[in-house]
Structure 1
Amino acid sequence: MNEIMVEPLATRVHRILSDDIVTGRIAPGTPLIQKQLAARFDVSRTPIRDVLTQLTADGLAQLISGKGCFVSDVSRDAVTDVYTVRAALEEPAFRMVFGKHTALQLHQLRILATETLQVSPENGEEFYEASLQFHQLLMAPCPNEYLLEVLSGVWAHPIQRRITLTHRPSPDHIRHVADDHSAIVSALEHGDLESGLLALAHCNTPSSHRRSAPDA
């Protein structure tokens, strides 16, 4: 007899509220009032308190003494921290996968790099998915399953998704990322590890930290 898995109440509320915050449906600074949330989800305040505690731990909400709980903004420091961790993990993973991609995988990476350039600046979700698919396929040959597991957590982290979904990518940022992806594929095709690492490092630089290259 197959058992039907029922999602725990607090888990469901946390999932829905997290998605609302990450996608911008609930804007930064919005108060998260227990009474209103309990009414929305038709639950008592106990699971709501637990969820707000978890959202705070996730960096999606903040408790302000004497005022309550509010949706947090994405700080510059948080963006820097996420990309720093991502870069630190992707560099050794890239070294492990270098030279291990099949011809089909390289072809698919080239297609994904091209598709990134075609993403509309109005569609943060599409840009997030395009970038995620590229990096997942790029690191697919990695023999260290634990490193891949940690990387998957970083790619899917609420802050990582929120950066992309709530801050629409500019045309320049989309072009820079597409160029980085293309450069990574070219490095793989030509067996140029150092160029690949350089392009990957540039790809993992927050757009607000990028510097335009000097004129030739």
Structure 2
Amino acid sequence: MSNKLTRADQLRESIEEDIATGALLPGAPLDEAELTARFQMSRTPVREALLQLEAAGMVEMRPRHGAVVAKISLDRLVEMFEVMAELEAMCGRLAARRMSPEQIEALRASHFACQAAHDAGDTDGYYHLNERFHCLIYEASHNTYLRDQAKALHKLLRPYRRLQLRVKGRMNESFGEHQAVVDALAGGDGDAAAAALRGHIVVQGERFGDLIAALAQVQAQANVG
């Protein structure tokens, strides 16, 4: 039983990655038979993986139509970013008080790694390093419940955070915002860290328009497919 669950977890992570990278677009079908053949496993772990993804909000189970990649409405997406911004702000506020010297150095090292990807114009590389940067802050809050909630919502928003980074100039802005976060955390300034992280995540103004445009492109690709 445990082996089946382990395989289900592996499949779930593979599908999550495909959704995050845009290989699976919103509305794309997830056929059980196709997944069974592709990953060479029985239908039991495939169904378990799809149920896990449904519970996480990444997949919709439709009667007589099977599973599809979930479509999130724009209003819902903005609400999720609002909550994400507050969770990150809370993590930053706590981390500023609780981070160990080793954790500060690890965050600086992560920031420098982001800089290398930024300087190389490597959007995909920056995206993965950016994810590690934020997860280090969640860990540094030393609040496991808050960390778990932040990671869960971060995972749901992965495809959309990745889309934002592909907007012209956004990677450069993101890196500058990271610098403000590192400076605040290294200085133990919880208020500044919270404000910097909130501003880094929240979707408003021009960023709101950019997100709409990026989503429209994804929808056009889905319609063509």
TM-score normalised by the chain length of structure 1: 0.70
Equivalent-residue separation in structure 2 for 1:189 and 1:38 (angstroms) = 48
Residue 147 (structure 1) shift: 2.4
Match of 2:34 in 1: 36
Match of 1:203 in 2: 200
Q: Flag the structure with higher helix content.
A: 2
Match of 2:180 in 1: 183
Match of 1:18 in 2: 16
Identity %: 26
> Conserved in 1, the CA contact under 8 Å of 2:88 and 2:194?
no
Equivalent-residue separation in structure 1 for 2:62 and 2:18 (angstroms) = 21
Q: Show structure 2 runs of 5+ residues with no match.
A: 210-225
> Conserved in 2, the CA contact under 8 Å of 1:62 and 1:70?
yes
**Over aligned residue pairs, what C-alpha RMSD do you find?**
3.6
Equivalent-residue separation in structure 1 for 2:208 and 2:43 (angstroms) = 48
> Conserved in 2, the CA contact under 8 Å of 1:99 and 1:191?
yes
Residue identity in the other structure for 2:167: S
> Conserved in 2, the CA contact under 8 Å of 1:116 and 1:174?
no
- CA 1:68/1:121 → structure 2, altered by over 3 Å: closer, same or farther? farther
Residue identity in the other structure for 1:178: F
Residue 132 (structure 1) shift: 2.4
Equivalent-residue separation in structure 1 for 2:188 and 2:198 (angstroms) = 17
Equivalent-residue separation in structure 2 for 1:190 and 1:167 (angstroms) = 29
Matches within 5 A, 1:51-66: 51-65=49-63
- CA 1:209/1:61 → structure 2, altered by over 3 Å: closer, same or farther? farther
Which of 91, 94, 97 is 2:95 aligned to? 97
The superposition leaves residues 30-87 of structure 1 with CA deviations (integer Å, 9 ceiling, x where unpaired) of 3223333333344554554444333333333324455443223454345324323322
Match of 1:148 in 2: 147
Q: Show structure 1 runs of 5+ residues with no match.
A: none
Aligned partner of residue 28 in structure 1, secondary structure: coil
Which of 159, 169, 172 is 2:169 aligned to? 172
The superposition leaves residues 148-193 of structure 1 with CA deviations (integer Å, 9 ceiling, x where unpaired) of 33333333x2x22222446652242112211211112233455554
Size of the aligned set, in residue pairs, is 205
Match of 2:126 in 1: 127
Residue 203 (structure 1) shift: 0.8
Aligned partner of residue 70 in structure 1, secondary structure: strand
Residue identity in the other structure for 1:133: R
Equivalent-residue separation in structure 2 for 1:19 and 1:123 (angstroms) = 16
Equivalent-residue separation in structure 2 for 1:177 and 1:149 (angstroms) = 23
Report which of the two structures shows the higher radius of gyration computed on alpha carbons. 1
> Conserved in 1, the CA contact under 8 Å of 2:123 and 2:165?
yes
Equivalent-residue separation in structure 2 for 1:50 and 1:139 (angstroms) = 28
- CA 1:127/1:79 → structure 2, altered by over 3 Å: closer, same or farther? farther
TM-score normalised by the chain length of structure 2: 0.68
Matched, 1:116 2:114: yes
Aligned partner of residue 98 in structure 1, secondary structure: helix
